Amino acid sequence: MLQVNAMAFTPNGYQLAVAAFQKVKIYDMTSLKPSNHITPLVCFEQIMKNVTAVGFEVGAQSRWMFTGGEDHSCRVYEMRVNQLVCQRVFDNLDPVTSVVIHGNQVELFIADQAGQVYVWDLRRDGHMQLPMPPLSYQEFVTNLAIHPSANLLAGVTNRGYLIVWDLSNGSDEWAQKVNYIERTTETFAKLNLIDTGKRLLHKSYGLSCRYSPDGRTLVTTGADNIINILDSCDTSLKSTIDAGCDWNWSSAFTCDSRLLFTGGSDNRVKLWDLDSGQMVMKYDGHTKPITALCVSDVPLR
């Protein structure tokens, strides 16, 4: 059994993409069967190493999806009937750790193990490097999240720091002015935290960051058993929750932004009320750490 590194639902909730070592599988969620009979609709295996990120175009059609991985690439696939066709590849110099899609559906933000974050414009097939605060030796962004308004981009690092970029200038303006050059330092984004441009939130490895669907809250988790709940506007710390285990790999909001799922090294999925900080429910049954979570609010039946 391979470790699952990332998961994502299509916007309609009918299909689930699962990223693992050398594989991306897509499952039909409308025809669920007993676990020993579930087979994927699609299994794409033409990737050399771990696939660390997966996601879909956000729209009614969901015509394409993307992945990022340790093979130093970000790929875009056309979704055909029971088939994935790789259409474009962003060749990077270092392993890719996280990929998220901009709200305009034509740009991807890509983080890598060299400590860089890029924006890849799919319309013009060009890319730019986002500004980075001073990073320590071998520090890099492990996970990215984009605000529902697409005006903010957040990332957590393997040293426990939070970085936030202001994207409010808009991409169309800069895209018309910039001639794309490999690893250019020009950018349309600016760091949104004062002083050093980053803020320490975790004592060790930062693992996930998520904006709530209503855009008011930013949550981070890491390897120090702490869930940080921040105001997304000014990144002020509203409260913290003791997750009860180290290595909280993933988190996901419910659609009403009131509750948060987390999964970690104690093999449990936990559901938290963010207002009270109390655990509402826990889900047992897994025999290994929970490494990826995603949530869909679309009823399947």
> pLDDT (tens digit, 9 = 90+) per residue, 66-97?
999 999 999 999 988 778 888 999 999 999 99
Domain assignment present for 79: yes
Nearest one of 16, 84, 78, 15 to 46, comparing CA atoms = 84
- Rounded to whole angstroms, what are the CA distances from 105 to 53, 120, 184? 16, 11, 23
Domain assignment present for 291: no
pLDDT at site 199: 87
Q: Residue 63 belongs to what domain range?
A: 1-91
pLDDT at site 83: 82
Domain assignment present for 71: yes
Nearest one of 99, 24, 9, 23 to 58, comparing CA atoms = 9
pLDDT per residue as tens, the chain (301 positions): 578 999 999 988 889 999 999 999 999 888 776 666 678 888 888 888 999 999 999 876 778 999 999 999 999 999 887 788 889 999 999 999 999 999 999 999 999 999 999 999 999 989 999 999 999 999 999 999 999 999 999 999 999 999 999 998 754 443 433 333 333 334 456 777 655 568 889 989 999 999 999 999 999 999 999 999 999 999 999 999 999 999 999 999 999 999 999 999 999 999 999 999 999 999 998 899 999 999 988 776 6
pLDDT at site 29: 86
Q: Which residues contact 48 (CB under 8 A, 6 or more apart)?
A: 22, 71
Domain assignment present for 83: yes
pLDDT at site 70: 97
Domain assignment present for 69: yes
Q: Which residue in this structure is represented by tokens 């399947």? A: 300
pLDDT at site 111: 98
CA dihedral 98, 103, 107, 109 (to 10 degrees): -20
Q: Position 106: which residue type?
A: V
Phi/psi at 103 (5° precision): -65, -20
CA angle in degrees (0–180, nearest 5) for 295-300-301: 150
pLDDT at site 181: 30
Q: Indicate the number of domains in the chain.
A: 1
Domain assignment present for 214: no
Domain assignment present for 65: yes
Domain assignment present for 59: yes
> pLDDT (tens digit, 9 = 90+) per residue, 13-29?
889 999 999 999 999 88
